C-alpha cells in the first residue's frame, strides 16, 4: 500500500493515576518533529485532581489533543481498544503515561514505511527501567524482504522460545487498518499477548525496525503487584490442573494455526509444513517445562490457601484505605 505524503498519525495515550508521567508523555508529543498528529487521551477514571489539571493545561495549548474521561475504570485492555477505535489516521501508535520518546520518534518510524509498500509495523529500539533504574534492553527484529513462509516460520520459533523478545514494537507505528483487522480475531483480543498480534500482522506484510530512535519503558512494582493479583485471584481454577504453560501456550498455538489455515498467501504445502512445525514446537515446549500432573494436584491445597490469603490481604488493604 503506497504511503500518502505527510499522512495523519493517531496517537492513543492511555492514562491512570500518573499525572507526572502523563505530563511527560504529552510534552514529548507536542515536541515531536512530525506535526500531523491526532492525540487521543483516555483517562481510566483517575481519582487524582492533578490529572484534570494536566489535561486542561495541554488541551488549552494544543488543539490536536482530544480527551476522554471514563466514567468508571474499564480496565487496561478496554482502554487500549477505546483509543484505537477513536483514531482516524492512516497510522497509529499507543503510548502510556510511563513512556518517554525522543523528538524524532514518530518521524523516524513513519519514514521507514517508505522502504516498502508492504510494511505494516515499524518498531523502535527500547530500554526497560524498573522504579527509575535501567533494567534491560529489548531485542530488535525485522523481517523485511522475507517470504511469508520464512517470516512465519521464524516467528513460530520465537513464539515458543522468547515471545516477549521484541514486545516494545507494541509501541511502534502501525498501519491503522491492518492493526484493526488483526487485533480482533473471532471476537477476542488479548492485550498482553503481543506475539499473536505480531504474527497476524506478519502474515499480512512486513515488520520493520527504526534503528535510530529509542523508546524508554518505565515499569513499577505496583504493576507487577496487579499482575500477581490477577494470577493468584482471578485466574480460572482449571489452569491449576492444566499448568501455567498450557494457559500461556494454548491460545498462542490456536492463533498460529488459525492464522496459517486462513492465509491466502501460503500454498497448501506451506500451510501443512507450518502447522506441523507449530505443533512440534508446542509439544516440545510443554514437555520441557511442564510439572507432572500428580505434582500439580498435590500442590492444589497450598495454591488454594495462598489464593485465599492473598484475597483476604487485598480486602484488608481496601478496608484500611477506606
What is the model's pTM? 0.84
259-297: pLDDT as tens digits: 999 999 999 999 999 999 999 999 998 888 666 656 666
On whether both 165 and 289 belong to a single domain, the answer is no
What residues have CB less than 8 Å from 146, skipping those under 6 apart? 154, 206
Range of the structural domain that residue 112 is part of: 9-223
Q: What is the pLDDT of residue 315?
A: 81
The answer to whether residue 192 scores a pLDDT higher than 90 is no
Q: Give the Cα separation of 245 and 285 in Å (integer).
A: 8
Q: Does some domain include residue 284?
A: yes
Residues 21 and 96 in one domain: yes
Half-sphere exposure of 181 (CA within 13 A, CB side): 14
Residues 137 and 255 in one domain: no
pLDDT at res. 241: 42
Q: Is the same domain home to 37 and 121?
A: yes
Q: What is the domain-level CATH number for residue 123?
A: 3.90.550.10
Please indicate, yes or no, whether residues 115 and 243 belong to a single structural domain of this protein: no
Residue at which a domain ends, from 203, 223, 243: 223
Same domain assignment for residues 20 and 148? yes
28 domain-assigned: yes
pLDDT confidence of residue 67: 97
Give the whole-angstrom CA distance, residue 84 versus residue 82. Answer: 5
Q: 194 and 303 in one domain?
A: no
Give the pLDDT confidence of 215-246 residue by residue, as tens digits.
998 887 777 666 555 554 445 544 444 455 77
User: How does pLDDT run across 154-182, given as a tens digit for each residue?
Assistant: 999 999 998 888 999 999 999 999 999 99
Based on the number of CB atoms within 10 Å of its own CB, is 4 exposed (0-12), middle (13-18) or buried (19 or more)? exposed
Specify the number of domains making up the chain. 2
The whole-chain average pLDDT of the chain stands at 87
pLDDT of residue 237: 47
Query: Could you tell me if 243 and 100 lie in one domain?
Result: no
Amino acid at each position: 500500500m503506497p504511503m500518502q505524503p505527510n499522512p495523519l498519525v493517531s496517537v492513543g495515550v492511555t492514562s491512570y493515576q500518573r499525572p507526572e508521567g502523563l505530563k511527560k508523555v504529552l510534552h514529548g508529543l507536542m515536541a515531536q518533529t512530525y506535526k500531523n498528529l491526532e492525540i487521543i487521551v483516555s483517562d481510566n477514571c483517575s481519582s487524582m485532581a492533578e490529572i484534570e489539571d494536566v489535561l486542561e493545561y495541554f488541551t488549552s495549548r494544543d488543539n490536536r489533543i482530544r480527551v476522554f474521561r471514563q466514567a468508571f475504570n474499564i480496565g487496561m485492555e478496554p482502554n487500549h481498544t477505546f483509543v484505537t477505535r477513536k483514531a482516524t489516521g492512516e497510522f497509529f501508535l499507543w503510548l502510556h503515561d510511563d513512556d518517554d520518546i525522543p523528538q524524532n520518534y514518530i518521524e523516524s518510524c513513519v519514514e521507514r514505511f517508505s522502504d516498502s509498500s508492504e510494511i505494516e509495523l515499524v518498531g523502535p529500539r527500547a530500554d526497560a527501567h524498573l522504579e527509575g533504574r535501567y533494567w534491560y534492553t529489548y531485542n530488535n527484529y525485522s523481517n523485511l524482504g522475507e517470504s511469508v513462509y520464512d517470516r512465519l516460520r521464524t516467528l513460530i520459533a520465537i513464539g515458543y522460545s522468547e515471545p516477549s523478545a521484541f514486545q516494545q514494537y507494541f509501541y511502534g507505528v502501525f498501519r491503522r487498518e491492518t492493526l484493526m483487522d488483526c487485533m480482533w480475531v473471532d471476537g477476542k483480543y488479548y492485550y498482553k499477548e503481543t506475539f499473536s498480534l505480531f504474527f497476524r500482522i506478519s502474515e499480512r506484510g512486513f515488520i520493520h525496525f527504526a534503528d535510530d530512535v529509542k523508546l524508554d519503558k518505565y515499569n513499577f512494582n505496583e504493576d507487577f503487584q496487579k499482575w500477581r493479583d490477577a494470577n493468584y485471584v482471578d485466574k480460572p481454577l482449571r489452569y491449576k490442573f492444566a499448568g501455567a504453560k498450557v494457559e500461556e501456550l494454548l491460545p498462542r498455538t490456536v492463533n498460529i494455526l488459525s492464522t496459517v489455515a486462513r492465509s491466502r498467501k501460503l500454498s497448501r504445502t506451506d500451510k501443512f509444513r507450518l502447522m506441523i512445525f507449530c505443533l512440534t514446537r508446542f509439544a516440545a515446549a510443554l514437555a520441557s517445562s511442564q510439572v507432572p500432573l500428580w505434582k500439580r494436584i498435590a500442590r492444589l491445597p497450598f495454591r488454594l490457601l495462598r489464593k485465599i490469603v492473598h484475597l483476604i490481604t487485598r480486602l484488608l488493604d481496601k478496608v484500611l484505605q477506606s
